[in-house]
Amino acid sequence: MAKIKQRLITMVLGKVTRELAGEVFNPAVIKSSPVYYKSAVPRQVIVGQQNFTIAGQNVTFHLRGYQPDVLLIQTTIEVEDIFHKSIFALEKQSYEHSLRILKEYGGDLLFSEEYSVFAVTNYEGDPEQFFSHQDVIASLLKSEEMLQLDPQEIEYTQSSRIKYSNNDLSIIDWDGAFLFDPNDDIEEDLELLTLANLQLLRYRILDHQLDGRLERMVEMVHNIPVGGSLKGKDLTERLKETMEIRMVSISELQRLERDIKLIGDWYSARFYELAATKFKIEDWRKSIRGKLESLEDTYTVVVENFTVSAKHRAEWIQIILFFILQVGWFALLVIEFLYFTRGH
C-alpha cells in the first residue's frame, strides 16, 4: 500500500498595482468535463516564484495571475499529519510570506482573499475513515484553533460536501476545503476553488468602486444650484464616467457567470456552485445589482435636472426674444406714425 499523501495548500489572491504578464498556465483536468472547459474559464499567466523555509522545509510559492491585475500566490506543503493542530502554525507562516509577496507587488490587503485546502490522497477505502478527526477537520475549515466547536456545528460543516466517485469527497467551507481523493486527482477542484475566490474578490472590489461612484454622483447632484445646472462640460464628463463604470461593472459581474454556465451540469459546475454558495456569491451579486440601480437612478436625476434647466433657459430666451421682437415692432409702428403725421 502506498503511503497516504497529505498536503496543506494555501492561496492568496489580491488586486495589485502592476499589470501582470507571462506565459499561460494550463492546469491539469482529469475529471470528466466538456472539451471547451479550458477555454471557458478565465486563464492564469505564470508570473514567477519565490522560495522560503517553513518548518525546516524549502517551500516554493508559485506566483500566477489573472490579467490585468489580480495576483495569485499559491504554495503546497507536504505534512505528516494534516489532522494535527500544528497545521494552524504552518498555515499562519505560509500566509505571512504570501501577504509579504502581495505587498511587494503593490497589493492592498483590504482587497485580498486567503483560502486553505487540506488534501488527503493516495489512500485505500472510503474517505469516511478519516472522520474520526472530524473535530479537527471542522476547526481547520472554520479557522478556529482555540475554540472547541459544538457537535452540531461540526455536523453542519461536514454537510457541505460533494462526491464524484465512490471513494472521493470534498468538504467546502468559507475559510477552507478538505479534498479526499484516492487517485490524487485534485487539480480541477483547486482551480474551481481559486475561481470562486477570484469571483468573490472581484465582487468586493466592484462593490467598493460603486460605493465611491455613488458618493461622487450624489455629491454632484447636491452641488447643482437651485434653479441652475452643471456646466455642459462638467456634466458630460461626469455622465461619461458614470456610464463607463456601469458598463465595466455589468461586464465584470457577468463574466464568470457566463463562463461557468458553459460547463453546464457537469461535476465542475456542481462543485463550483457549492463553493459559490458558501462564499455568499449570490448575496454579493444582489448587492452590486442594487448599487448599479442606485447609480442609474442618480444618473437619471442628473440628466433630468440638466434637461429641465436647459428647457427653462430655452423658454426664457424665447420669451425675451419675443419681447424684444414686440418692442421692435412697437418702435417701428411709432416711427411710421410719426413719419406720416409729420408728412401731413
CB crowding 199-237: b at 16 or more within 10 Å, else e: bbbbbbbbeebbeebbeebeebeeebeeeebbeeeebee
Task: Kindly state whether residues 160 and 26 are assigned to the same domain.
Answer: yes
User: In terms of pLDDT, which residue wins out, 143 or 256?
Assistant: 143
* Longest CA span, the chain: 133
pLDDT averaged over every residue in the chain: 81
Domain count within the chain = 2
Instruction: Give the pTM.
Output: 0.79
In this predicted structure, what is the pLDDT of residue 5? 95
Task: Kindly state whether residues 114 and 263 are assigned to the same domain.
Answer: no
Task: Kindly state whether residues 140 and 273 are assigned to the same domain.
Answer: no
- Structural domain span for residue 297: 194-307
Task: Kindly state whether residues 144 and 60 are assigned to the same domain.
Answer: yes
* Predicted confidence (pLDDT) at residue 163 exceeds the cutoff of 80: yes
Task: Kindly state whether residues 159 and 203 are assigned to the same domain.
Answer: no
In this predicted structure, what is the pLDDT of residue 268? 80
* Predicted confidence (pLDDT) at residue 53 exceeds the cutoff of 90: yes
Task: Kindly state whether residues 206 and 167 are assigned to the same domain.
Answer: no
* Predicted confidence (pLDDT) at residue 62 exceeds the cutoff of 90: yes
Q: Which three cell numbers stand for residue 226?
A: 437651485
Report DSSP state, residue 73: E
